[in-house]
Amino acid sequence: MLDKIQQLKDEIQNLHVSSAAEVEDLRIKYLSKKGAISQLMNDFRTVAPELKRELGQKLNELKNMATDRINTLREEASGSSEEKATGLDLTRTSAPLPLGSRHPLNIVRNKIIDIFARLGFSIAEGPEIEDDWHVFSSLNFAADHPARDMQDTFFIQRDPADVLLRTHTSSVQTRVMEHSQPPIRIICPGRVYRNEAISARAHCFFHQVEALYVDEHVSFADLKQTLLYFAREMFGPDTQIRLRPSYFPFTEPSAEMDISCNLCGGKGCAFCKHTGWVEILGCGMVDPNVLESCGIDSSRYSGFALGMGIERITNLKYQVKDLRMFSENDIRFLSQFQSAR
Ligand code: DAH
């Protein structure tokens, strides 16, 4: 019997398995009721009394050792199958996680905000779901102005009062002016909506930044200098600007600003349609009607406003040809833009 115990000990010590199922087979073979060790326990009853002490000890040792060994094998087998299944390598050193990148529209938006912040403008925001007053009426839009039309504006409700998605961030001008008095110097970034067919050149939502400066003696010269400073900070120190007369209901006089094409340096290319200039924003002196409708004394105060599309500026900086790229969340596109902010 001693030999048998020793033989089982050696056997169990040298067991090797490759799966949890094999461990279970071994447990049954050695430790179950009909297993080899139980068999020896049965034989032990008939052993001569003077041998019982020594043999009993050895048997117990064998049983404990077998139980430990089977447990160890079970741990090894379950560990290795998990590693195999998940491809997990627990010995690998941790590597730095790849960092995400900023969305190009946010990079450009932050840059615009930075430039205006240096001139003392602070950020103001307003709701995307608006009413007629803030988007149109307070901004001097005539009752029959085409911009109010169904073709441009997404209406959420028409009765009893209009509720709509704002079509421009100029609505934030009203929101700020009706609750504060000059000096006002704000910049309003935000998303706007228009009912347009989606294509490479138009989308039903896009982003704008609006700037507003109202104080005593604000003149067109202040506007021009601000525009020049912005253009040079944004597109480089050699950038030229030009203002063309235009019309917006909320500014008088109104202008559109072009910058010298930053792709060809003003020489003329396909991007600027060989004119050397590209349009980037609308601006003007705040119409006295707008100041008055917001409770600001237009005989004492004057102001300028400007508004630009962030997508447009981003296209100029990065030459993104298809507007839809901005909202498709394609990592291959987005990961090309790196910025510290
Ligand atoms: N709100 C105009 C638009 O969406 C842009 C604009 C033009 C804003 C002139 C202004 C401005 O503040 O003065 O097309």
pTM value surpassing 0.85 = no
Enumerate residues lining ligand 1, CB below 6 A. Answer: 168, 170, 210, 248, 251, 282-284, 305-307
Residue 139 clears pLDDT 90, i.e. is over it: yes
Please write the tens of the pLDDT for every residue from 32-68: 888 888 888 888 888 888 888 888 888 889 889 989 9
Query: What mean pLDDT comes out for the span 176-202?
Result: 95
Of 244, 248, 311, best ligand 1 pocket probe by most atoms within 8 Å of the beta carbon: 248
Query: What mean pLDDT comes out for the span 275-300?
Result: 96
Centre of ligand 1 to C-alpha 307, Å, is 4
Residue 321 clears pLDDT 80, i.e. is over it: yes
Q: What integer pLDDT is reported at residue 143 of this predicted model?
A: 87
Q: If pLDDT is split at 50, 70 and 90, which confidence band does 118 have?
A: very high
* Nearest-atom index, ligand 1, CA of 167: 4
Highest mean pLDDT among 48-57, 143-152, 328-337: 328-337
Phi, psi of 125 (to 5 degrees): -130, 155
Q: What integer pLDDT is reported at residue 87 of this predicted model?
A: 74
Centre of ligand 1 to C-alpha 299, Å, is 23
Please write the tens of the pLDDT for every residue from 64-86: 998 998 888 888 877 655 556 67
Centre of ligand 1 to C-alpha 245, Å, is 13
Q: What integer pLDDT is reported at residue 83 of this predicted model?
A: 57
Query: What mean pLDDT comes out for the span 178-202?
Result: 95
Please write the tens of the pLDDT for every residue from 215-235: 999 999 999 999 999 999 999
Percent of the chain with pLDDT over 70: 97
* Nearest-atom index, ligand 1, CA of 284: 13
Average pLDDT, the chain: 91
Residue 150 clears pLDDT 80, i.e. is over it: no
Query: What mean pLDDT comes out for the span 106-132?
Result: 97
Centre of ligand 1 to C-alpha 256, Å, is 9
